[in-house]
Amino acid sequence: MSETTDAPVITGADPASFPHSVLADRHPALIRRVRDAFPYGPEQHRALDALLKSAVEGTVEALDGDAWWDAWGVAEYVGRSWFEVPFLWSESYFYRRLLHAVGYFGGPPWSAPWQGVDPFRPFKLAELGGPEAREEIAALDRLAGLTEAEQRTALLHGSLWGNRADLGFRLQRAGDHDDDADGAGAGELVADDGDVLWRLLPGAGTLLLVADNAGCELVPDLLLVDHLLRHGHVERAVLHVKPYPYYVSDATTADVVDAVRHLAAAGTEHGRRLWSALADGRLALRAHPFSCGPLPYAEMPDDLRAEFAAADVTVMKGDLNYRRLVGDRMYPPTTPYRDTTAYFPGPVAALRTLKSDVITGLAPDTEARLVAAEGQRWRTSGTHALIQVRT
């Protein structure tokens, strides 16, 4: 057995753990927010009540008639507490249940008026209309005075730190009255393979970017892609988004449309170029079903593996993608990133702010310094970030 498969799979069983707080606090808070944001009918309120009860006190149940979900191993966990099954799995299951409760998946069209209505859309739109999004646009003027290499690094870091405060994270932070990561500037990089990433890009044909959140994360992601296309660092980019709403603010195709329209409406040349790149295929969108699956990428299906294998480099954005990439396990932090990603069929970079327990690839002195300064808080506070690359 290796260090990578020996590490325990993370669950929410320990009441003092981060996953426990997500399941016990973040999910009920999210149900309340969604309920308040829409004039749902009695059927949806009943379903949300049932979900709230199940999520906090209940056990995993089969999702009747949901063949898609059956494919992800629900049978294995039926009857077990949400807190005991793998955290990666129970969170995904929660989001699938939430979408069922609000009627997102509908039924026959004539009886499914809420089909396709994204329950997180009001929060995503509020973010795109807010001060942080305005600041992102204003910062573009400041970029113009920099060299190309400086612009590229600034855009990479903008994309990285855009991941700092996804809406789920903010929800819990608001409850904690602790706003360390909200609206704060960039914090510390605990690993920085930025140079390795640039070396992979010159002349590279296709960049595959697995997006994370909509709004103030997706906008800088798109600005980075625009820059790499414009300056010939890549010929083509493929942006993987979610096929349906997920983890509160995860980007779907509708969110890409909103972000590009936002950039275009602000009169930026970036918006116009992205629009053209989508039109001529230099920027393509992809929404693979596995993106909303509750499993690590090590278990990805063959067609997705082939897509990653065909890319010259894959960039995984965000905390959840990191958990899925390296495996949602309590590794010793110095476990090499290259070992946990050895299965991945091509060069793979992770751009992630630290918002959950999983971490690999730290230098021993970095880990020692973080622990001495903060105990284990650095793992989940969202104030640290990393750029890790496996060539």
Ligand X SMILES: O=P(O)(O)OC[C@@]1(O)O[C@H](CO)[C@@H](O)[C@@H]1O
Interior angle at CA 342, CA 336 and CA 348, nearest 5: 90
Q: Which stretch binds ligand X (CB under 6 A): 67-75, 110-118, 299-307, 318-326?
A: 318-326
Distance in Å, CB of 273 to ligand X, minimum = 26
Distance in Å, CB of 376 to ligand X, minimum = 15
Q: Which stretch binds ligand X (CB under 6 A): 60-68, 112-120, 164-172, 359-367?
A: 164-172
> Tokens 């706003």 map to which residue?
179
Distance in Å, CB of 280 to ligand X, minimum = 30
Contact pick of 11, 92, 159, 213 for ligand X (by CB under 6 A): 213
**Residue 356 interacts with ligand X (CB under 6 A): yes or no:** yes
The single-letter DSSP state of residue 326 is H
Distance in Å, CB of 212 to ligand X, minimum = 5
Amino acid at position 83, single letter: F
Q: CA distances (Å), 350 to each of 129, 317, 323, 329, 383, in order?
A: 28, 6, 10, 16, 16
Q: CA distances (Å), 358 to each of 1, 58, 157, 194, 329, in order?
A: 19, 26, 21, 21, 6
**Residue 127 interacts with ligand X (CB under 6 A): yes or no:** no
**Residue 169 interacts with ligand X (CB under 6 A): yes or no:** yes
Please name which of 330, 298, 378, 296 lies closest in space to residue 91, comparing C-alpha atoms. Answer: 296
**3-state DSSP assignment of residue 353:** strand
Name beta bridge partners: 191: 386
**Residue 233 interacts with ligand X (CB under 6 A): yes or no:** no
Amino acid at position 264, single letter: A
**Residue 168 interacts with ligand X (CB under 6 A): yes or no:** yes
Distance in Å, CB of 88 to ligand X, minimum = 9
**Residue 320 interacts with ligand X (CB under 6 A): yes or no:** yes
- Strands 234-240 and 283-286, by their bridges, are parallel
Distance in Å from the first CA to the final CA of the chain? 24
Amino acid at position 69, single letter: W
Q: Which stretch binds ligand X (CB under 6 A): 109-117, 238-246, 312-320, 370-378?
A: 312-320
**Residue 294 interacts with ligand X (CB under 6 A): yes or no:** no
The phi, psi pair for 316, rounded to 5°, reads -100, 120
Contact pick of 4, 11, 12, 22 for ligand X (by CB under 6 A): 22
**Residue 97 interacts with ligand X (CB under 6 A): yes or no:** no
Contact pick of 154, 319, 325, 337 for ligand X (by CB under 6 A): 319
**Residue 193 interacts with ligand X (CB under 6 A): yes or no:** no
Contact pick of 97, 240, 270, 355 for ligand X (by CB under 6 A): 355
- C-beta of residue 323 within 8 angstroms of C-beta of residue 374: no
Residues that bind ligand X (CB under 6 A): 22, 26, 91, 163, 166, 168-169, 212-213, 247, 318-320, 323, 355-356
